[in-house]
Structure 1
């Protein structure tokens, strides 16, 4: 594949999709700038996994070893019953465990991607795009800093509430709310904590989770069903009040989290939904990652979609002389995969958020049955072997090199 002339490309967002795209574009000869609203890398966040095609891409990028070294140490998933007992356990080796081979903190992956790209990519922190004016040969970009500059292409990779997307696509992409709110925070680790991902379901449609990290703390998360509030618009102190109210009386480690809410500085609180956009490009501007097709944390595929979309878009831009053809090819390859990932099983998330104590007991009893040795042995017969898991994910990754 012949390398293109050094076209200037601007990427908005320095999380996962943006730097992954920057890595490949720089490799293919593009002149890449990444602009990030935050003054520095945003290194917070919870446990994520790099599996399936994302792991293949990490191997191609030469960062799999670094990801493996930053593993959280999580050994599997435990469901905690209403009497604080282990109702079901799915070790990491289990085909039904939520714990993957490459479990890593979101911030650690962001840091690894930055280190892999900082020499070849121009990063601008503390700035953002405020205006885009498309011309036949380029895009005139205005930044919040007051600077103006021209680029051949612009890519929005700045998350679910992408301001760059709004400048071009307006309200065309739809956020589909799933009736669920979630909060993440980091709390001190106790001697009683272990290295399992512990999942506790409480009555009144609430879930509390504790997960280990590699920094000597515990990553806590809270999720609850809510038909139609707008808590994400509240000031931080009001959000904390709502969280404490919703956690009250939940049992297990809920009081511990309530007491930690006022002490921590990294509470993230937002509603859960999917982004569905009828198109991912308009003129010289395209979208990747959560900005274009957020699948929700319920799928466990957000990181995968971000890295796969970045890899495919960069490869198609390098393969085609005309960016229009590249955008079409990228969407043709990626959209069926996105639609498959975004298709949630019937009853999700409602089925795993029971209203009553009886419903919680039934859910835990079913989980205990599934985790039993006879059922696990049967399931293993129909599960892909470890060597096949990377390949068997419904997406073809061409070798663009």
Structure 2
């Protein structure tokens, strides 16, 4: 029999995990990635719940534990830098926190010999019929596939081509997020430090011995800012954090000098259906909503569920895609419904909200 062929757009957490399971299910799998390499941002992410089972079956749990971050607690500070609470980060049920780049590297190492990889390329057109999908690339020659998966993130190219413009599915949640590696050893080697003032959060993370910073802040939407140049993004961040004391001026200077800034809007992606014909969306392309580091868990779980659904009914693609979606929405649905509450706890908009959140941290969670 001729092997079924799948094209996965996006070699991030969702795409690489899916490629691993598809190849083991008998699919001839191709990954296409716009970037010229597989480096990923260094943001800390969680592997927990259903993703732990996926990692265990892939045989990568020991490697993930070996590259886990050093953080053992969260230290909450007030606007002056005074400690409000220390919240232990005890691992529940074996949960693992790793840098996103380390997770991507370990996942790719597990299946790199099985899938074809097209780097520095992207899909420019896609046309499908009942028997397959014809794909045009920016660089590679056109090809035909049995299945196309859009695992290409919040600003998905596959979603735009097949489902419509991003504005039809994306809701700006009032926050921007920027992360940057600071270089050098962290001041607190085993603590995540959170400094909040109304509408703004600065988080310092020890990672694995090299400090990183995250700026998460409320701001009126500036259309296209997330796709703009880094200089403009740095201006908006600096203006938003002016007047805050503690180490903020120093960290803004280091931000200005950095050349590896990650910047994006915090958005919620909502679609009535994640598939059309032989095209299906996965990860943030289908249901971006993560704000607290669990997007990678959802990505791994979704990829595993999609591969399993395809294996269960190999002769009925439509049924498989519907089964994947109905099952995975049980995980993403609660995240969608509670995202505003999560944002309110992470970045309270008012002094009253901040005081209430700090009291919860001090008397309920911390010590």
User: Which residue does the alignment assign to 2:82?
Assistant: 85
Residue in structure 2 matched with residue 151 of structure 1 by the alignment: 145
Residue of 212, 217, 225 corresponding to 2:210: 217
Q: 2:9 aligns with which of 9, 12, 27?
A: 12
Residue 301 in 1 paired to residue 298 in 2? no
What is the CA distance between 1:188 and its match in structure 2? Answer: 2.5
Q: In 2 relative to 1, CA 312–5 (structure 1 residues): closer, same or farther, beyond 3 Å?
A: farther
State the shift of 1:363 in Å.
3.4
After TM superposition, list the pairs within 5 Å mapping 1:323-342 onto structure 2: 323-342=317-336
Q: 2:178 aligns with which of 183, 186, 189?
A: 183
Instruction: Tell me which residue corresponds to 1:396.
Output: none
Among residues 258, 264, 274, which one is paired with 2:258 in the alignment?
264
- Report the more deviating stretch, 139-148 or 99-108: 99-108
**1:45-87: CA deviations, max 9, x gaps?**
3000100000111001111111111111111211112332221
Distance 1:140 1:94 in 2: 46
Secondary structure in 2 matching 1:257: helix
Q: Is the contact between residue 295 and residue 301 of structure 1 (CA under 8 Å) also seen in structure 2?
A: no
For normalisation by structure 2, the TM-score amounts to 0.93
Q: 1:64 to 1:181 in 2, by over 3 A?
A: same
In 1, the alpha carbon distance for the partners of 2:80 and 2:173 equals 29
Q: Structure 1 pair 359/148, CA: closer, same or farther in 2 (3 Å)? A: closer
Partner of 1:282: 276
- 1:90 and 1:165, CA in 2 relative to 1: closer, same or farther beyond 3 A? same
Shift in Å at residue 366 of structure 1?
3.4
DSSP-derived class of the 2:257 partner: coil
Question: CA distance change for structure 1 residues 190 and 313 in 2, over 3 Å: closer, same or farther?
Answer: closer
> What residue number does 2:190 align with?
195
SS at match of 2:154: coil
Distance 2:186 2:13 in 1: 33
Which whole-Å CA distance do the structure 2 matches of 1:281 and 1:257 have between them?
A: 43
Q: Which residue of 2 aligns with 1:40?
A: 37
Aligned with 2:104: secondary structure? helix
Distance 1:198 1:278 in 2: 39
Could you say which residue in structure 2 is the equivalent of 1:369? Answer: 363
Q: Partner residue of 2:61?
A: 64
Gaps of 5+ in 1: 374-401
Once the 2 structures are TM-superposed, how far is the Cα of residue 301 of structure 1 from its aligned partner? 2.5
Q: What corresponds to 1:310 in structure 2?
A: 303
What runs of 5+ residues in structure 2 fail to find an aligned partner? none
Contact 1:21 / 1:311 at 8 angstroms: preserved in 2?
yes
Q: Is the 8 A contact 1:316 1:327 kept in 2?
A: yes
Compared CA separation, residues 369 and 38, structure 1 to 2 (3 A) = same
Which one of 171, 175, 188 corresponds to residue 165 of structure 2? 171
Deviations 1:299-347 (CA, angstroms, capped at 9, x unpaired): x321121111111111111111211111111112112322122221664
TM-score when scaled to structure 1? 0.85
User: In the TM superposition, what whole-angstrom CA distance separates every residue of 1:240-259 from its partner, at most 9, and x where no partner exists?
Assistant: 11111111122222112211
Aligned with 1:89: secondary structure?
Answer: strand
1:355/1:13 Cα in 2 relative to 1: closer, same or farther (>3 Å)? Answer: closer
Aligned residues: 364
Quote the offset at 1:200 in angstroms.
0.9
Q: Give the Å deviation of 1:7.
A: 0.3
Q: Is the 8 A contact 1:138 1:284 kept in 2?
A: yes
1:124 deviation in Å?
0.9
Q: CA deviation at 1:27?
A: 0.6
Distance 1:319 1:347 in 2: 37
Contact 2:79–2:244 (CA under 8 A) maintained in structure 1:
no
Give the counterpart of 1:242 among 233, 236, 258: 236
Any idea what SS the aligned residue of 2:226 has? helix
Secondary structure class of the residue paired with 2:95: coil
1:274 partner SS: strand
CA distance in 2, matches of 1:147, 1:244: 44
CA contact (8 A) 1:185 1:221 kept: yes
Change (3 A) 1:12 1:346: closer
How many angstroms apart in 2 are the aligned matches of 1:351 and 1:163? 32
Specify the alignment match of 2:312 in structure 1. Answer: 319
Asked if residue 138 in structure 1 is aligned to residue 132 in structure 2, the reply is yes
Q: Which deviates more, 50-59 or 38-47?
A: 38-47
